[in-house]
Amino acid sequence: MLALQGDFKEHAAMLRQIGADPVEVRRAEQLDGLDGLIIPGGESTTIGKLMVSYELLEPLRKLIESGRPVWGTCAGMIVLAKDLGGLRQPLVGALDVRVRRNAFGRQLDSFETDIPMPEVGDEPVHAVFIRAPLVESVGEGVEVLGTLEDGTIVAVRQGNLLATSFHPELTGDSRFHLYFLQMVDAETETAAVSS
């Protein structure tokens, strides 16, 4: 997982629980040999600036082009997006969505709720939103995995890219991490067959 800033240790703990072997990535050369990548929650402006200073943007785009699954939570969703509706900050820009930062307001508007997410499991996912972004619009080929009751889009997938406004790493429910590992396993198998 990308360990520039944010709650990457919580993601690592979840991954270990379900049998994966996470490593922390702070420099481009550490991306070599990864089966997938998680970009954690944190401050998207900080993560973006560190990605520029340590020349991670291009290698990340290549990793995504190569088909490796990449999942962004909260700040991670923001840096994956193509469009922030006019806000200028460094982005990987691979996910064809328009994202609005701090979309629900300030910290006092942070909240928890349950979201039906049939792709991930039968029971709704309990989700925590912290100064969270939302997806305002999606391009072609972007599948909506979850919305709030009012239709606000908070989880999407586009091929090997996964993005959530909320933090499955903080709620002790490993189903989203299992879903991501399935994406990773499927990609690893495809890569093995084609080579």
Partner 1 sequence: MVTTQKSTELTKRGLAQQLKGGVIMDVVTAEQARIAEDAGAVAVMALERVPADIRAQGGVARMSDPALIEEIINAVTIPVMAKARIGHFVEAQILEALGVDYIDESEVLTPADERHHVNKHEFRVPFVCGCRDLGEALRRVGEGASMLRTKGEAGTGNVVEAVRHARAVYGEIRRLSCMPVDELMAYAKDIQAPYELVKEVAREGRLPVVNFAAGGVATPADAALMMQLGVNGVFVGSGIFKSGDPSRRAKAIVEATTHFQDARVLAEVSKGLGEPMVGIEIDTIPREQLMAVRGW
Binding positions for partner 1, rule: CB under 8 A: 3-10, 26, 41-43, 45-46, 49-50, 53, 74-75, 87, 101-102, 106-114, 124, 128-131, 149, 167, 170-171
Radius of gyration (C-alpha) of the chain in whole angstroms:
15
61: left (phi over 0), alpha (psi -120 to 50) or beta: alpha
Specify whether 189 is catalytic. Answer: no
- Whole-number minimum distance, CB 15 to partner 1, in Å? 16
Q: Which residue has the tokens 């989700």?
A: 127
- Whole-number minimum distance, CB 99 to partner 1, in Å? 13
> Which C-beta is closer to partner 1: that of 140 or that of 150?
150
- Whole-number minimum distance, CB 107 to partner 1, in Å? 4
Minimal CA–CA distance to 38: which of 7, 59, 62?
7
Catalytic-role residue among 11, 74, 177, 187:
74
Specify whether 74 is catalytic. Answer: yes
Length of the chain: 195
Which residues are the active-site residues?
Answer: 74, 167, 169
